[in-house]
């Protein structure tokens, strides 16, 4: 995976996801599906979600189809973990 330069806000939204309740980042207009999913973004949940976001959160407006390869998922999470989370 090649890290390009996403905007600071995109980073913030993803990275601060770790162990936070779904749909709770202040100021972002989430879908009801995401807000009401009741998920906590811990590592195991994020792994399942990234495999198939629409299966884990039916009705989400996240268009990304997910990552089919488990090693890609592990690598993305490792990448995000380098930046920590707001709960630290
Ligand atoms: C590996 C890459 C990605 C990861 C790790 C990721 C992770 C996540 C997570 C954890 C959430 C839920 C955030 C929360 O509940 O606060 C989310 C939501 C969202 N993501 Fe992604 N995402 C990725 C790629 C993408 C891409 C490529 C797009 C756009 C094409 C996208 C668009 C969105 C949108 C629009 C939401 C809000 C969903 C909703 O409200 O239903 N994501 N993402």
Please state, as a whole number, how many other Cβ atoms lie within 10 Å of the Cβ of residue 22. 21
Instruction: Decide whether any atom of ligand 1 lies within 6 Å of the 31 Cβ.
Output: yes
Q: Nearest residue CA, atom 17 of ligand 1?
A: 62
> Model pTM?
0.84
Domain 8-87 has CATH 1.10.760.10: yes
All structural domains of the chain with their residue ranges: 8-87
How many other C-beta atoms can be found within 10 angstroms of the C-beta atom of residue 59? 11
Q: What is the pLDDT of residues 27-66, one digit of tens each?
A: 999 999 999 999 998 889 999 999 999 999 999 999 999 9
Q: Please state, in angstroms and rounded to a whole number, the distance separating the CA atoms of residues 39 and 21.
A: 6
Which ligand 1 atom is at minimum distance from the Cα of 61? Answer: 41
The closest-lying atom of ligand 1 relative to the alpha carbon of residue 77 is 5
Per-residue pLDDT tens over the stretch 6-21: 555 555 566 555 578 9
């Amino acid at each position: 995976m090649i890290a390009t330069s996403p905007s600071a806000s995109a980073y913030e939204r993803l990275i601060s996801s770790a162990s936070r309740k779904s749909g709770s980042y202040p100021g972002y207009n989430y879908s009801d599906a995401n807000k009401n999913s009741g998920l906590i973004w811990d590592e195991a949940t994020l792994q399942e979600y990234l495999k198939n976001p629409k299966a884990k959160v039916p009705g989400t407006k996240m268009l990304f189809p997910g990552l089919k390869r488990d090693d890609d998922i592990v690598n993305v999470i490792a990448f995000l973990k380098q930046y920590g989370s707001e709960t630290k």
